[in-house]
Amino acid sequence: MKTLFRGAMVSLVLFVLCGIIYPLAMTGISQVLFNKQANGSQIQYNGKVVGSELLGQNVTDTKFFHGRISAVNYNTYKPEDKAYTGVASGSANLAPSNPALVERVKNDIEEFLKANPTVKKEDIPTDLLTSSGSGLDPDVSPKSAFIQIPAISKATGISTSDLKAIVDKNTEGRFLGIFGEPRVNLLSANIEIKKRLE
Digit-coded pLDDT (tens) for 125-142: 988 888 887 878 888 999
pLDDT > 90? residue 164: yes
Tell me what pLDDT residue 25 has: 92
Residue 40 lies inside a defined structural domain of this protein: no
- Higher pLDDT: 87 or 63? It is 63
Confidence of residue 86 (pLDDT cuts 50, 70, 90): low
Q: Where are the alpha helices (DSSP H) in 116-185?
A: 142-146, 149-156, 160-169
Task: Please state at what angle helix 160-169 crosses helix 149-156, rounded to 10 degrees.
Answer: 120
pLDDT > 90? residue 35: no
The region of weakest confidence among 15-29, 71-85, 104-118, 143-157 is 71-85
Task: Please state, rounded to an integer, the average pLDDT across all residues of the chain.
Answer: 85
The most confident of 64-78, 79-93, 94-108, by mean pLDDT? 94-108
Give the residue among 149, 150, 188 at the shortest CA–CA distance from 169. 188
Residue 17 lies inside a defined structural domain of this protein: no
Domain that holds residue 77: 59-197
- Higher pLDDT: 12 or 38? It is 12
Q: What is the pTM assigned to this prediction? A: 0.74
Q: How far is CA 66 from the centre of its chain?
A: 11
Round to whole Å and give the CA distance between 87 and 105.
24
Contact 109, 121 (CB under 8 A): yes
Give the residue among 31, 135, 32, 126 at the shortest CA–CA distance from 75. 135
Phi then psi for residue 197, to 5 deg, are -85, -10
Residue 38 lies inside a defined structural domain of this protein: no
pLDDT > 70? residue 85: no
Residue 125 lies inside a defined structural domain of this protein: yes
Residue 96 lies inside a defined structural domain of this protein: yes
pLDDT > 90? residue 21: yes
What lies within 8 Å, CB to CB, of 167 at 6+ separation is: 142, 145, 146, 149, 184, 189
pLDDT > 90? residue 143: yes
Task: Provide mean pLDDT across the span 103-126.
Answer: 88
Total domain count for the chain? 1
Residue 25 lies inside a defined structural domain of this protein: no
Residue 54 lies inside a defined structural domain of this protein: no
Tell me what pLDDT residue 149 has: 92
The string of pLDDT tens digits covering residues 38-69 is 777 788 888 888 788 888 888 888 899 998 88
Residue 16 lies inside a defined structural domain of this protein: no
Beta strands at 48-52 and 183-185: parallel, antiparallel or unpaired = unpaired
Round to whole Å and give the CA distance between 101 and 13.
54
Count Cβ neighbours within 10 Å for each residue of 153-170 and write b for 16 or more, e otherwise.
beebebeeeebeebbeeb
